[in-house]
């Protein structure tokens, strides 16, 4: 049995995919993992939309329209990475499917936080189960989540927002081991 820490440590954002379509049963298993996430008061605020073909192409077009303006001027992206990122934004690195995760809009800030925390947990479960099944993913949480055009393409109700768009498919790149700050520098132990 794979240790969960192996899956957690080896999951990395994948930005280039093979065109091979994963079996929909595997996608269902990944969504099941998402739906098993903890949620505030067991509210399960998430909903999932799985898209391919013309739906995937239409939202990719929106992503590219946004990225064309954004990436060249983004100070925090190293110059040598910009070309690769623009290329990937054309079609999310060729991912055959995307999972779009939505949550209900609410005014109350504390309810909104509960909803977003819960939806984030569902997304993390999705990323980890996908990794465990040999699939790559990346959580796209950029401006694209606020695109009225994307909501229209996906027929998302007015009272819901997008928490993430997750390209999913078999990786066609070596994962880049993005660094982490040592956990000790992020932890305080009290009363030990």
Ligand X SMILES: Cc1cc2nc3c(=O)[nH]c(=O)nc-3n(C[C@H](O)[C@H](O)[C@H](O)COP(=O)(O)O)c2cc1C
Binding residue (CB under 6 A) for ligand X from 58, 65, 114, 142: 142
Nearest distance, CB of residue 108 and ligand X, angstroms: 21
Distance CA 151, CA 155 (A): 6
Annotate 109-134 with three-state secondary structure: HHHHHHHHHHHHHHHHHHHHHHHHCC
Nearest distance, CB of residue 105 and ligand X, angstroms: 18
Can residue 12 be called a binding residue for ligand X (CB under 6 A)? yes
Looking at the chain, list the stretches that DSSP marks H as alpha helix, in order from N- to C-terminal side.
Answer: 4-10, 24-35, 53-70, 79-91, 109-132, 148-153
Can residue 13 be called a binding residue for ligand X (CB under 6 A)? yes
With contact defined as beta carbons under 8 Å apart, do 144 and 166 qualify? Answer: no
Can residue 58 be called a binding residue for ligand X (CB under 6 A)? no
Count other Cβ atoms within 10 Å, centred on residue 165.
28
Can residue 178 be called a binding residue for ligand X (CB under 6 A)? yes
Nearest distance, CB of residue 119 and ligand X, angstroms: 10
Can residue 140 be called a binding residue for ligand X (CB under 6 A)? yes
Nearest distance, CB of residue 19 and ligand X, angstroms: 20
Site for ligand X, rule CB under 6 A = 12-13, 138-142, 178
């Amino acid at each position: 049995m794979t240790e969960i820490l192996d899956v957690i440590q080896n999951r990395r954002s994948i930005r280039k995919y093979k065109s091979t379509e994963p079996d929909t049963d595997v996608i269902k298993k990944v969504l099941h993992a998402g739906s098993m996430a903890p949620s505030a008061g067991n509210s399960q605020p998430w909903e999932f939309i799985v898209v391919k073909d013309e739906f995937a192409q239409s939202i990719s077009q929106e992503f590219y329209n946004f990225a064309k303006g954004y990436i060249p001027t983004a100070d925090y992206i190293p110059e040598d990475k910009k070309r690769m990122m623009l290329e990937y934004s054309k079609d999310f690195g060729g991912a055959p499917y995307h999972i779009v995760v939505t949550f209900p809009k609410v005014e109350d800030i504390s309810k909104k936080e509960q909803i977003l925390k819960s939806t984030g947990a569902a997304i993390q479960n999705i990323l980890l189960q996908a990794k465990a099944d040999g699939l790559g993913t990346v959580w796209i949480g950029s401006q694209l989540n606020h695109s009225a055009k994307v909501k229209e393409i996906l027929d998302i109700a007015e009272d819901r927002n997008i928490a993430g768009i997750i390209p999913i498919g078999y990786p066609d790149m070596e994962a880049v081991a993005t660094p982490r700050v040592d956990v000790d520098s992020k932890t305080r132990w009290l009363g030990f």
